Amino acid sequence: MNRTIQLGNHAHSCVDVERFGIESVCMQNTQNTNRTNTINDSESLLQLLSERLHLWDQQDAAQAAGQWHQALTLERSIREISPRIRQTMGLLVPTAEGVYEL
């Protein structure tokens, strides 16, 4: 006689199989969500890095043209974008006060 049936666990085993199937689907959905988040984070990071690179180029041009006020304005923009880059990379976490912490 099958020990599972003898102990009366046969139905329980079927439930476990169904439960594991559902858990597997949930895990797969979580993995897909994480993959999507990673792609979105990567695209966001790429946009932020491209924006900062563009600002640096503009700042260099402003300095070369002697437009110091414009160069300082661009520097401010660069300093504002840098914490957003670090946050997207997971290096900084915003606090309730809006201050970033490692």
Q: What is the pLDDT of residue 78?
A: 96
Residue ranges in the chain whose pLDDT is less than 50 = 1, 10-15, 17
pLDDT on residue 17: 47
What integer pLDDT is reported at residue 58 of this predicted model? 97
pLDDT of amino acid 59: 97
- 56-76: string of b/e by CB count within 10 Å (b at 16+)? eebbeebeeeeeeeebeebee
**Both tokens assigned to 33:** 């969500």
How is the chain split into domains, by residue range?
Answer: 7-92
